[in-house]
C-alpha cells in the first residue's frame, strides 16, 4: 500500500484530498506539484543555508557530497540530458 510509510493523519488527509478532487475536478489536482517562482540558484542557496544550520547544531555529514550538491548535480544531469535529446536530429 502506498500510504504505508505515511503517518495516519497524513494518509487520511491525502485520501480525503484525492476523494474531493475525484468528485470535483475543479479543485486543485493533488497529483500536480505547485509551481515555484524561485530560481535554481535561490533554492541552492536555501539548501546550503539549511545544511550550514544542521552542521552548526551538530549534525554530521556521512558523505563527501552534501545533499544539496547531490540534488544540484542531478538537476544538471537532467538539463544536460534534455539538451542532448533536443539537439539530436529527428
Tens-level pLDDT at each residue, the chain (90 residues): 666 777 878 888 989 999 999 999 999 999 998 888 888 889 888 988 988 898 888 887 777 888 788 888 888 899 899 888 888 776
Same domain, 48 and 83: yes
Q: Which of 17, 11, 43 is nearest to 30 (CA)?
A: 17
pLDDT at 90: 65
**Residues 6+ away with beta carbon under 8 Å from 21:** 27, 28, 29, 30
Same domain, 3 and 23: yes
pLDDT at 61: 74
Same domain, 60 and 82: yes
Same domain, 77 and 89: yes
pLDDT at 1: 62
pLDDT at 59: 81
Structural domain for 12, as ranges:
1-34
Alpha-carbon dihedral of residues 68, 28, 10, 53, nearest 10 degrees? 20
pLDDT at 25: 93
Helix %, strand %, coil % of the chain (to 5): 65, 0, 35
Same domain, 86 and 51: yes
Same domain, 50 and 19: no
Counted domains in the chain: 2
Whole-prediction pTM value?
0.48
Same domain, 22 and 42: no
Amino acid at each position: 500500500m502506498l500510504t504505508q510509510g505515511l503517518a495516519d493523519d497524513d494518509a487520511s488527509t491525502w485520501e480525503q484530498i484525492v476523494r474531493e478532487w475525484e468528485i470535483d475536478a475543479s479543485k486543485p489536482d493533488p497529483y500536480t506539484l505547485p509551481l515555484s517562482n524561485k530560481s535554481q540558484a535561490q533554492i541552492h542557496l536555501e539548501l546550503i543555508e539549511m545544511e550550514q544550520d544542521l552542521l552548526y547544531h551538530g549534525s554530521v555529514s556521512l558523505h563527501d557530497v552534501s545533499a544539496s550538491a547531490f540534488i544540484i548535480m542531478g538537476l544538471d544531469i537532467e538539463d544536460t540530458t534534455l539538451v542532448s535529446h533536443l539537439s539530436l536530429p529527428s
